Structure 1
Amino acid sequence: MKRTHLPLNALRVYDAAARHLSFTRAADELAVTPAAVGQQIRALEDHLGTVLFRRTSKGLELTEEGLAGLDALREGFLKFEESVQSMQAGQASDRYTIAAPREFYAQWLAPRLAAFRNANPGIRFRFVADENADFTETNLDVAVRLVDGPGELEGIELAPARRVVVAAEGAPDLWIDWPGAPLPEGADAAIEVGNAGQALSSAVAGMGKAILPYLLVEDALEDGRLATLEGPDEGRRAYWLVAPLPQWRQKKVKSLVAFLTD
């Protein structure tokens, strides 16, 4: 059976205006203007073909038609809220599906997720190798991406956007080029690789020097596998933890974000 189209936003405005018997107070509750409330009410009256409010010397009053459907409407909103709560309760709060670049996972993310799991026994992880995977198709909770901002997603920088030129001791003065870090003007690349992880491995192997995110090479610098040639300097791209707004609002995602950014 085909369902009737319901103007839910206008009905929500109508409910607020009916409770307050004031477009102004309804507007305050809904964080809109009184004019916007009035427009929604007029549109709803046009849709229903009836008048819901009348103005009197005492103020705003509901008509008989306006009163007639009010109880059922409010019961319906309560059902909506119960439905949303049921869907939220059904979320697997102990399971995370995460997409991240492999090199970032190995160098930075894995030990921190291990610590997070130690603090939250029973947590389960599923990892997706493609950090640009579609959130819906892969049921992702969050992704880590090397980008210059979250774009249309919600997100937070895991560390400031800094880059550094690094090389292993005794490495030749040759550039290792990868798509995420353009070489200085006039520089020739002796080695071309496909991503930051391959550039890091090439630099650690002593094949040349590379421009890499500081966050990615921090451990290699500390343990002496790499040395700093230039920088660290401010960069354009950083590792961002991102997710669509519905996932970002989940309690389990908020908990993970808080742990990783503490």
Structure 2
Amino acid sequence: MMADLLTVKDLTKQYQEFTLGPLSFNVPAGYILGMIGPNGAGKTTTLRLLLDMAAPTAGTVTLNGDTTPAARALARAEVGVALDTTGFPESWRVADVDSAMALFLPNWDAARFHELIDLFGVAKKTAYKKLSRGTQAKVNLAAALSHDAKLVILDEPAAGLDPIARDQLMTLLQAYIEDGQHSVILSSHITGDLARIADYLLYIVGGHQLFFGETATLLDRYVLVKGGRGKLTPELKKLGLGLRETAVGFSLMMRAEAARNLPAGLTIEPVDLDALMIYYGKEVQADAQ
């Protein structure tokens, strides 16, 4: 049985106007977990809790067998991190990043770091402040992937990256886990990337965990049903999620098993992650009104 690098059980964070959780999920060694959800869903807060950057109200986080913040801090060198809100001092150049990381990370691999910097096309003598946001992200990613971290946690790592750099990153992450000893947690709004590489998905909306499991299982769970306006019955409305109507027809999302005995004249299509989030989001908005 594959060991879990990370296990989360009933994790909750209570704020005055927002509650995250309870969340329960695990990340086995050798896999990629994708986190999806709209802005404000709680994804970044979840990552902060995993990294002990915020204290949970309840629940437990087990990192490579360690359950307390103090014990997890000792294992922090085993975690690579690139968050959307973090970076390096403005005056630093690539050589400064290299030197600083080597002081704090016993497994720092300078050769690997410069290899990734070259792959990403980063100007080594340009100050971090003067790099574009996308290029800063490349430096952050290179650092996160250059000390043999067992678990790499990335928050919107592809934001600002061009399609070529995004493809390079996705290929790197897939290669990173191939030995079965490393795992990645990847929070991203670019659902096409997640559909390509994520073995598991954690889906959060409004602080609530809607789904955790295999990516294929989630996508196979739902279908899109489309048809002319005359085909939209009360029964379909009751079975569907996120109804969208136009002057000529309608579309809604439905559990796959519920769509097996629909009447003729309707079109049934598979869902992708974009459609899943759009239709679920429309349903959540409707419920909130």
Q: TM-score with structure 2 length normalisation?
A: 0.23
Q: Where is the helix percentage greater, Structure 1 or Structure 2?
A: 1
Normalised by the length of structure 1, the TM-score is 0.24
**Higher RCO, 1 or 2 (CA under 8 Å, sep at least 6)?**
2
